[in-house]
Amino acid sequence: MLPEIYQEMGISSEVYQLGEEILSSLKERFREIDKIAEYNQLKVLKAMQECKVSEACLSGTTGYGYNDMGRDTLEEVYAKIFGTEDALVRPQITCGTHALALALMSNLRPGDELLSPVGKPYDTLEEVIGIRPSKGSLREYGISYRQVDLLPDGNFDYEEIRKAINPNTKMVTIQRSKGYQTRPTLSVARIGELITFIKKIKPDILCMVDNCYGEFVEKLEPSQVGADLIVGSLIKNPGGGLAPIGGYLAGKKEAVENAAYRLTSPGLGKEVGASLGILSSFYQGLFLAPTVTAGALKGAIFAANLFEKSGFQVVPDSRESRHDIIQAVTFGCAEGVIAFCKGIQKAAPVDSFVVPEPWDMPGYDSQVIMAAGAFISGSSIELSADGPIKPPYSVYFQGGLTWQHAKFGILSAYQSVKDAGIFTR
């Protein structure tokens, strides 16, 4: 009955059969993903048991949030999972960009310099840093910025990184995922090699990793290979699709404490911040995160194989190892990006009837189109796709709370691109 219901939902028999042919070649690869998910599932469970998560931890607090046992225990769980001294996990952190800004602004002081050894950061960080002028940026506070681009083959430019590090270099920011670029995502092993190189030059540099989209994709996290601080969003991988808001920082105790004082107030830090009755979603979402991430990862690999077979450039390609859940597909024209996003939106459980259009989204330097019919607004661990309307006209696909939904979403996007005549251009 599967082909019939797919056809009822807009997927032609030709597209369905192509998808089935590709899936038959991915069985062993999917089996390996399931093994990593099993390892990470047990790692999360072990942390929850060792931290003695109890039913009382699922209740919330209001007001100041003093003595919030559930909040404090959750932060212990995060620290244990990521192998760090401390963690800050709060609903008051509104998004990934906020979490990154919090980490930077709390650990840098006027006269310090921030270095990105992996090239241009994600678009929304440009205004945080002050690359594009913005109120309250690091630049306005006298914090300078320097970057070293990756080499054409995607490798680190170690010689230029060595030259860029100077007495004022206080902090290094390493973006694990590709953002709106077509460079490779960085593996945990490569991040570890880069941090080791940097620390040999200047041991007291604080190395921060933007871990968004990478949690639970591998068995190790960047904090286990030398990162002093890792940062992410709870409406991506670690929230498991249940966290309605929030972000986390995990790392060295001093760096996390600095962030807590910046988030609340000097003298208060982690002691305040009510959890407002959403802790059960944070705990349960974290518990489900390894398997939800595995489903999204399968969807990304399926997408790469499907679109590469039809002649489009994909990053990562169909055979590369995976280090985050994002899949880029380059169309070379705005119509391809738009058609793909329309197909993803059509496959959504929420707002499937809505037609996404490019718009001037805050924090970006060009129009952006986003497809996301999600239970949690903006949740990119749910089936979603987005991309800037500018050359090389690439779309970035991620998410799917279940593998089955990710599969249908990709077939819907493929059908939409095919129906728009993009294949013949």
User: What pLDDT, in 10s, does the model give residues 207-255?
Assistant: 999 999 999 999 999 999 999 999 999 999 999 999 999 999 999 999 9
Give Cβ neighbours of residue 28 (< 8 Å, ≥ 6 apart): none
pLDDT score for 182: 72
What local confidence, expressed as pLDDT, does residue 424 receive?
65
Residue 264 lies in a domain: yes
pTM: 0.95
As averages over each run of 10 residues, the pLDDT of the chain (425 residues) reads 95 97 97 98 98 96 96 98 98 97 98 96 91 94 97 95 98 91 89 98 98 97 98 98 98 98 97 96 98 98 96 94 96 96 98 95 85 94 95 95 98 97 78
pLDDT at 191: 98
Whether 239 and 307 map to the same domain: the answer is no
Question: Domain total for the chain?
Answer: 2
Examine the domain organization and report whether 328 and 238 are in the same domain: no
Phi, psi of 175 (to 5 degrees): -90, 115
Asked whether residue 241 is domain-assigned, the answer is yes
- Tell me the CB-side half-sphere exposure of residue 415, using CA atoms within 13 A: 23
Whether 100 and 156 map to the same domain: the answer is: yes
Q: Are residues 269 and 294 in the same domain?
A: no
* pLDDT at res. 122: 87
Question: Residue 366 and residue 281: Cα distance in Å, rounded?
Answer: 35
Same domain, yes or no: 308 and 393: yes
Q: Kindly report the CATH number assigned to the domain that includes residue 321.
A: 3.90.1150.60
pLDDT value at residue 362 = 77
Do 272 and 400 sit in the same domain of this protein? no
The tokens of 203 are what? 């041991």
Is the alpha carbon torsion for 231, 236, 242, 246 positive or negative?
positive
Q: Are residues 101 and 37 in the same domain?
A: no
CA torsion sign, 77 to 82 to 86 to 89?
negative
Rg (CA), the chain: 21
Beta strands 327-330 and 394-398, pairing class = antiparallel
The last residue of one of the domains, among 234, 253, 276, is 276
Domain boundary among 257, 276, 295: 276
Asked if residue 92 belongs to a domain, the reply is yes
Would you tell me how many other CB atoms lie within 10 Å of the CB of residue 32?
A: 9
**Do 76 and 33 have their domain in common?**
no
Domain hosting 394: range is: 2-41+287-424
Q: Does residue 163 share a domain with residue 115? A: yes
Whether 307 and 407 map to the same domain: the answer is yes
Residue 50 lies in a domain: no
Give me the chain's average pLDDT, please: 96
* 52 is a domain residue: no
Q: According to the model, what pLDDT value does residue 179 have?
A: 76
Domain check: are 291 and 272 in the same one? no
- Tell me, yes or no, whether 209 and 117 share the same domain: yes
**pLDDT per residue as tens digits for the range 265-312:** 999 999 999 999 999 999 999 999 999 999 999 999 999 999 999 999
**Gap between the terminal Cα atoms of the chain:** 34
Q: What is the CATH classification number for the domain harbouring 229?
A: 3.40.640.10
348 within 8 A of 368, measured Cβ to Cβ: no
